[in-house]
Amino acid sequence: MIKLRGKTGVEDPLNKIIFEPRSGFIRGRGAAPTLEFPLIYGHRCPYCSNVIQALFKAPRTFSLWAYEETSILSQGEKNSGDVLKVFPEEKTRFGKSCYRMDFSPAEGGSIKLTLRNHIMNHRAIAERTYDGKGMWEESYERPCTKAGIFSLREDLLVKDWLLFSQISEHEIVKYNIPPIKDLIPESNNNFKLVPSVGVAPPVILVDRQPLVYGYHYQSRPMMNAYRKAGQ
C-alpha cells in the first residue's frame, strides 16, 4: 500500500511517502521492508483513494510489485464508483504496475510516481480524436471515474484544463488567467481541486465522460468573467 503523510500545502521535513508491503510480502520468504522517503509533493484521489501522483527523494528506483494495491472503480452505469477489483490480481503478469516511475539522479536522486490514466498525459491534448481515442494509455487500467489534470505552474494548470476542454490556444489568449481557486471554488459540482501534501498546485479532477468528449460547454461560461477587454 502507498501512503502519503504530512501537511497540506506546507514544505516540511516530516512529509513522507510510505510503501507498505501487501499481504504475502509481510513475512517469510519474499518479505519486503516498509520503505519511507522524503516527500516533495503528492496527491491522493478522494474518490478511488489511490495516490495518483507523488514526487519524492530516493537514491534509486525500485519495483512496486510487493507494495501496490491499486483500487479499480467500476465504470458501469449501475455500479459506477464501486470498487471493481484491486490491482494486481492473481492473473497479473509479475512486475506489471498501474504506475509510471521516472527516476532522476540529480541532487541525490528523485522519483516521480504517476498513476496511469488518472493523471492525464499532456500528449493527449494533441493526439485525441473527436470520440476520445488517443486520450488513454492503452493496455493499462483506467482506475477511477475521475481523471486528473496537473501542472507545476498554476497558470499552466488553468491553460491545460482549458485545452483538455477543447478550447483552442487561439481562444485562450483572449482571457486573463485567474487563480485556480477563484475559477473553481469548493461549491463547484463539476470539477474538484485536490490539494497536495507538500507544496504544489492542486490536481483538477474531471468526470471521465465529459473529458472524453470535451467540456467546453462548462469551461467557457466559467471563463466569461475573465475575458480581456475588447475580446
- Burial (CB count <10 Å: 0-12, 13-18, 19+), residue 120: buried
- Give the Cα separation of 206 and 195 in Å (integer): 15
- Give the Cα separation of 201 and 53 in Å (integer): 12
Q: Is residue 231 part of a domain?
A: no
- Positions of E strands within the chain: 2-5, 16-19, 35-44, 51-57, 70-73, 83-87, 99-104, 110-115, 146-149, 191-194, 197-198, 203-207
Q: Please state whether 9 falls in left (phi above 0), alpha (psi between -120 and 50) or beta.
A: left
pLDDT in tens, 205-226: 999 888 988 899 999 999 999 9
Spatial CA neighbour of 118 closest among 76, 146, 91: 146
156, 115, 104, 41 alpha-carbon torsion, rounded to 10°: 60
pTM: 0.92
- Give the Cα separation of 66 and 2 in Å (integer): 11
pLDDT band at 14 (very low <50, low <70, confident <90, very high): very high
pLDDT band at 230 (very low <50, low <70, confident <90, very high): confident
Q: Is residue 20 part of a domain?
A: yes
- Residue 50's SS3 state is coil
pLDDT in tens, 53-101: 999 999 999 999 999 999 999 987 778 888 899 999 989 999 999 999 9
All 3 cell numbers of residue 195? 490539494
- Taking each helix axis from N to C end, the angle separating 216-223 and 154-164, rounded to the nearest 10 degrees, works out to 140
Q: What is the pLDDT averaged over residues 147-164?
A: 96
Q: Which domain holds residue 130?
A: 2-226
In the numeric block, the cell 501512503 is attached to 3
Look at residue 226 in the predicted model and tell me its pLDDT: 95
- Burial (CB count <10 Å: 0-12, 13-18, 19+), residue 97: buried
Specify the number of domains making up the chain: 1
Please give the DSSP secondary-structure letter assigned to residue 27. S
Burial 146-169 (b: 16+ CB within 10 A, else e): bbbbbbeebeebbbbbbbbbbbee
Rg of the Cα atoms in the chain:
19
pLDDT of 174 above 90: yes
